[in-house]
Amino acid sequence: MIELVTARNGKSVLKKDGKLLASVFDPLREAAAWADKVQSEFGADESIIVLGLGSGYHVEELSARCSDRAIYVVEKDVEIAERVFELCGGIRRDRVIVEPDWIRLADLPVFQEALGGVYRIAPHGPSYQIDPEYYGAVDRLLRGRDKLSFLLLMKTRPEFLPLLDAEAVNAIGDEAISIKTISRLFSARAVGSRQRRIWQLLEELVV
């Protein structure tokens, strides 16, 4: 159940199942602190994928600071999204990805767009605490280091699919996905392709 509460500074804050999605004292100050941390960790050329809309203030703050960067948000709850759009006018709706089933994220065009270049993951603590299973799975999906996440992530990289050997893909085990894993997946068709050569260059970095 979603409730609206008023923080000490007069701002409205969302509450789901009794858990707050922002500070009940000063959500704007909390949002600024969160944005400070995100800005300090990420480079200028990276897009940001925020996990959890919360009450929207942290996303609004980050968007105001990083207007030159692509900021996407993954949110599980449709109702939270609707409430946040009412509260915060500074969030781009076209970059908020609302999908309760994380497995289906990779099929969404806007999610594929978010993963188009170099991206960094910025979890929102209160959102994580409310649904750690969902946001944990999204986090793993975005990193792509386990078999299921990696295979789902490959949907966002259609240029690779024709170059891979189906048997090798099926044979991926439970080990963490690494460059060695990826190198084994390429078929003979891949030889000479630009994508394969980029991976071959990367392989030389870990030799």
Partner 1 sequence: MKILILSLLRIGDVIMAAPALRGLRDRYPQARIHLVVNSQFTGIAPLLPYIDRVIPFERERLQKGLGDASVPVFESYARLESFIDSLNAENYDVAINLTHNRLSAWMMSLIEAKAKTGLSFDAQGRVSFGSNWFRYLNYQVDSEGPEVFHFSDVFRFALDLDGERENTLDSALIESASGRREADPVLNETGSRNIIAVQPLTSDRKKDWGVQNFSAAIELMAKRFPEATFVVLGAPFEKEKLLPFVDRLRAKTIQARLAVVSLEGAFSLLKSSRILLTGDTSIKHLACAAGTRVVEICVGSSDPYRTGAYRHGSVIVRTRETCAPCPHSGACHRESHACAERVPAEAVALVAGEVYEGRMFQLRAIAEEYADYIDVLRVESRVSGYWAAYSVLETLTEESLARWLDLTCRKLWFMGMGSQTGGMVPLGTEVVRLSRLLRVIHPWVSAIEWRHFFADMERDLRSAEARINGFKVGLEYLKGCYEDPRRMREFVRGLIAFRDRIRHVPLMRSFKDGLDSVIEDDVSPAFTRFRRIMSLVAEIERRTEIYLRLLRGLAGQFPVPHGKKRMEKL
Contacting residues toward partner 1, per CB under 8 A: 45, 115, 117-119, 121, 142-145, 150, 153, 157, 176-179, 182, 191-194, 197-202, 204-207
Contact 74, 138 (CB under 8 A): yes
Smallest distance from partner 1 to CB 31, Å: 24
Residues 97/107, Cβ–Cβ less than 8 Å: no
What tokens were used for 49? 């994928």
Closer of 1 and 201 to partner 1 (Cβ): 201
* CB closer to partner 1 out of 85 and 119: 119
Whichever of 48 and 91 has its CB closer to partner 1, that residue is 48
- Minimum distance from residue 152 beta carbon to partner 1 (Å): 12
Distance of closest approach, residue 183 Cβ to partner 1, in angstroms: 11
Determine phi and psi for 75, rounding to 5 degrees.
Answer: -135, 140
| Residue whose CB is less far from partner 1, 29 or 180 | 180
Separation of alpha carbons 73 and 60, rounded Å: 11
Minimum distance, C-beta of residue 62 to partner 1, in the bound complex (Å): 19
Q: Minimum CB separation from partner 1 for residue 131, in Å? A: 21
Q: Which amino acid is at 112?
A: Q
Cβ closest to partner 1, residue 52 vs residue 144: 144
Decide if 161 contacts 154 (C-beta within 8 A).
Answer: yes
3-class secondary structure, 165: coil
The Cα–Cα gap between 61 and 204 comes to: 41
Q: How far is the CB of 3 from partner 1 (least distance, A)?
A: 35
Q: Which of 89, 81, 11, 85 is nearest to 52 (CA)?
A: 81
Look at residues 47, 91, 94, 53 and name the one whose alpha carbon lies nearest to residue 71. Answer: 47
Please report how the helices 57-65 and 27-41 are oriented relative to each other, as an axis angle in degrees rounded to 10: 50
Q: Which is nearer to partner 1, 78 or 198 (CB)?
A: 198
